[in-house]
Each structure stands twice: as structure tokens, then as C-alpha cells.
Homo-oligomer: A and B are copies of this chain.
């Protein structure tokens, strides 16, 4: 920067002002300095700038998982929203319960960030407190976090849509493959979807049969297991809604291997609209993950640039996508 100042015949203060866009320099000098900086391929050091003004321009994204569609898509959305802004993204992954705790403990050390976006994992009360202490802006993407800003879908409604679709097709024995949390802390997703499922049954005056609700580990093999258990029931369901598309994929594999015709003998619907859902023609309830991410990114941006943020809680709509795995129950002869 002193180079530029010397060459332009001004003080470094002016250079700083010219480059940062703050007032106090004439337009003439500003453009002259800018041009010079461009020529010399010069750019201010973010570190020094940050140090001098006390941090600005970095947001951390914390996730429990990266390699899976949902999280990767959220992240993609966030990146899209933040691209072109002057915000840099710092990425953290906390896979295990204990790593998560450590992350929050070390948060002060991370005091290099101005905001935190949490990708859909539960946060304990204690951790919530730590966040408060830090005083950083926090946005939850794909869930809720007390009354802090969040971007999410209505899980109850999503499950209701899936279940309702099957009921409407004439099914009366509709099962639910739900996910068990990967966390010790209660996480809202599975509970909400269970409620949505129940709600749809209730609306149709259908009895909720406990044996038709099975829990399995999140993921496709969990789905496969769960479906196997449902099939081994004395009276198997004629339709099942899965917690997620991935679990539905696993279920589909079990069905294929068991030689059960879909949707002729059994209908299946997932929740997500995973990129592969189209490929295997899975009926599902679409969750706009990319947009969730984008909204989350936009939200922190607004929060950080304290534009007036009218609504800090955004809930995006889900939508039924009917494909090949759902149909009317076979009229048993």
C-alpha cells in the first residue's frame, strides 16, 4: 500500500480511503489510485484490514456432514448466495458429538468470524449459551434454533403431504419409516414428520397402527432394514412413506430383491427430491434445499449489513412430486 501511495504521490491514508470506498478523497485521486492499484496488481490485505477495523467479512458454515446430498446442496445454496458478496466462507465439520462440543468450546478462538451458519444439527442449551456469549450472528439452515434466525421447511406438513397422497390414492395401511437421530440430542425432524404422518391419518379418520411405524438409522441401508421389517409383518402395509429419499432408496432395494412390484403391490413415497429420485422414479415430497441454502446465505448477508430484516424466520414450501413409485392399492381379488 505504501508503494501505491508513493507512486501516486499521496499518503497511505488516501490510498486506503480510495480503495475502501470511504469518503474523504476526490473522485480524481480515487480513480487515479484505483487505476494504479489495478496496474500494480495490488489488493489490500484482508488480515490487516480486519485487524484494524475489528473483523468483518467472514462467515463460518458448520456442518455435521458434507458428503451427503442434503448438506452438500445446502452448502451449495449458501455459496451461491454469498458469491459476489465480500464475504468469505470458512468451513467447519463436526462429525461426532464430542467434536461438536469442542467446536463450541473453541468458538472464542474462532473469533475471526462475524456470523455462523449451522447446517441442520441440534444444539444443546449450553451451546446456545456459548453462542450468546460470543455475540456472533447465527443462522440455522434446515431446522430451528430457539428464536434465532432460521431457514427451513415445515416438516409436519411435508410428511402430511406424503401421507395424504397415499391415502388419497386409496391406501388404508400406510406405514412410516422414520429416522432415528444420529445425535443424542432430540432433533425436531423425525418427530415433526411423525406428527405430520399421524395428522394425515387422523384427518382421514384412519387408525394409527403402531406396528406400521418403524425406526431405522438414517441412510439407505437403514431404509432397507426398515422395509424388510415391514414386509415381515403379518399384515404388511400397502404403502409406506419414508423419512427421506435416501431411506426410500434403501427400501426400494429391499422391495426389488423381494420381488415386490412397485407400485402395484406396494407404494412408496419419500421426502426430499434427491437428485436420484428422478432417476429411480421415486414419488416424493420436494424440499427446496438449494433455495434453503440460498435464503440462509442471503439472510446472514442482510443481518451482517444490518439491512432491516423484516422476517428472520423463513419457511419454504414443500411440494408433492408424483413419479412412478406410488399408485392405488391393488384391489385384492
Contacts and interface: CB of A to CB of B under 8 A. Distances in A.
Interface of A: 41-48, 50-51, 55, 61, 65-69, 71-73, 75-76, 79-80, 83, 88-93, 99, 106, 108-112, 220, 249-250, 252-253, 275-276, 278-281, 290
B51 A47 contact: yes
A49 to B, nearest CB: 9
A112 B46 contact: yes
The 4 tightest CB contacts between A and B, nearest first, are A43-B109, A72-B72, A67-B76, A66-B76
B72 A66 contact: yes
Contacts of A80: 93
From A41, A66, A99, name the one whose CB has the most chain B CB atoms within 10 angstroms.
A66
A280 B280 CA distance: 9
From A43, A91, A253, name the one whose CB has the most chain B CB atoms within 10 angstroms.
A91
Contact of A47 (B55, B83, B276): B55
A251 to B, nearest CB: 10
Nearest to A224: B279
A73 B79 contact: no
B42 A108 contact: yes
A43 to B, nearest CB: 3
A299 to B, nearest CB: 18
Nearest to A88: B90
A146 to B, nearest CB: 22
Contact of A43 (B43, B111, B253, B276): B111
B91 A79 contact: yes
Contacts of A250: 279
A90 B93 contact: no
A45 B89 contact: no
Contacts of A65: 76
Given A46-B109, A66-B79, 17 more contacts: A44-B109, A45-B51, A46-B111, A47-B51, A48-B51, A66-B76, A67-B73, A67-B275, A68-B72, A83-B99, A88-B90, A89-B90, A91-B91, A220-B278, A220-B279, A249-B276, A280-B280
